[in-house]
Amino acid sequence: MSTHVAIIGAYGSAGGAVAKQLADDPEIELTLIDDGDPGGGLCILRGCMPSKEVISAAKHRFAARRDDRLVGDLPEVDLERTVERKNEHTSGWAGHRRSGIESLAEREDVELLRETATFVDDRVIEVGDRTIEPDYVVIATGSTPSVPPIPGIEDVDVNTSADVLDATEFEDSAVVLGLGYIGLELAPYLSEAGGMDVTAIDVLPELLPEADDGFGAELADYYREEFDMDVLLDAQASRIEATDDGGVRVTVDDGAEVVEADQLFAFTGRKPALDGLGIENTSLSPGENWVGNTMQADGDERVFVVGDANGREPILHISKEQAATAATNIQAHREGGDLTEHDSTHHHVMFSGLARLPFVRVGHSADSAEEAGLDYVAVDSRAEDDGVFKAKDASEGWARLVVSPDGTVLGYQGLHYHADAMAKTMQLAVEMELDVREIPNRAYHPTTPEILDALFRKATEKLAERDAATATQ
């Protein structure tokens, strides 16, 4: 007898990954459900891909603006063309995603329902005019922008990341709430592409809280200097109200400062997209830590929640890892076997500074190694000390490598040009537990990975000094 699995949100990255794995199991009957219009997943439609598309236009202008070797009038970003191209590419990417899922539905034991799913009881789901009762349910409905409950915010127009991606014009000034992943990527876009005077407010005392001290402060200074942005840290928007001329007034820290601007942008994270699912009709209780490491939801061991919908870590590659864990565990649970727990290496990439000064952390920082009780050695290398970065007119930022006393690479942090492209290399070094002394330190010259060579050499030298000091004791 086959096992019936329903996947709600099948066009998304996480839902689609579960579907592809389970579709190869001859003992599983799949019902794929998605009411997206057109459908294609958050990353493609409103997240990772379209944001990088529009940021790239601003990056080109930024590079021209700050290069004193160039002469002539500074070009403006054609916002209409930028959005048009973004839409063209997004449509193609989404169509490719849909076709992949639709090809699965051509199999005998797989069907695709382009309807809204609503729980009416535990694992009893209304889909259009049908009611299904699958053995297992996978919720992969993604997330939506989260707007903070600041007094007065309901009385003004609030723009989110979705609005920015579609905007073909901006007003003269902006107040930005939040400088996390979304804010650090889009606030400079408002300045460079939109020509806005930007004031950004964040509750944390320093940017990049996952990084060691110094990275966040340097990035904040970069935003102030390169984008002429007012960056208010350790600050809380306590009240918001409309101005007489249609703008917005934000009171900060109960009156310590008042900021006025033409438009308000909330880049304050995302929340699981669970509204309308009828969760209240089930034993599920969404909240903090409501989904365990096996991807099972509290309240029903046959409901698995993956991707942004579980609120754990809204990052694409993590979502796909969670999807693999959920699919494997559905198969194991069916057979009464042991379940596996999702365990991921810290691997974050942030396209800060219009991707001109991206931030990466793979594995441990020095702080996290300290908190984990690990003995370690940390070495740094600044881009300005490397002729390659100077030659490429990108000498800002720095990198840090963390290794154990036996040479095992524990982690890398980079706030510099091309750091995003080096993340994969360092993921291999960390996850394969490579010995830094055995990694070749001869990148092709002149290329920016030479900053990694510098880190490898410095770490090797520091370990040798440490070993020598230990031998003489």
Indicate the pLDDT class of residue 245, thresholds 50, 70 and 90. very high
Confidence of residue 467 (pLDDT cuts 50, 70, 90): confident
Stretch 377-383: mean pLDDT, rounded? 98
Instruction: Report the distance separating Cα 436 and Cα 457, nearest Å.
Output: 8
- pLDDT at 469 exceeding the cut of 90: no
Q: What is the pLDDT of residues 122-177, one digit of tens each?
A: 999 999 999 999 999 999 999 999 999 999 999 999 999 999 999 999 999 999 99
Length of the chain: 473
Distance, C-alpha 384 to centroid of its chain: 28
Q: Which pLDDT belongs to residue 339?
A: 98
Helices (H), 372-418: 387-391
Region 68-83: what's the mean pLDDT?
97
Percent of the chain with pLDDT over 90: 94
pLDDT tens for 432-456 read 999 999 999 888 999 999 999 999 9
CA 372 to chain centroid, in Å, comes to 24
Does position 473 have pLDDT exceeding 80, yes or no? Answer: no
Write out pLDDT tens, residues 39-64.
Answer: 898 899 999 999 999 999 999 999 99
Domains and CATH numbers, the chain: 3-143+271-335 (3.50.50.60), 153-268 (3.50.50.60), 358-471 (3.30.390.30)
User: If you average pLDDT over residues 10-21, what whole number do you get?
Assistant: 97
What is the predicted pLDDT for the residue at 1? 75
Amino acid occupying residue 281: N
Give the model's pLDDT for residue 387. Answer: 94
- Residue 254, both tokens: 């109960």
The C-alpha atoms of residue 302 and residue 306 are separated, in whole angstroms, by 13
Please state the pTM of the whole predicted model: 0.95
Burial track 271-283 (b if 16+ CB lie within 10 A, e otherwise): bbbbeebbbeebe
pLDDT at 196: 98
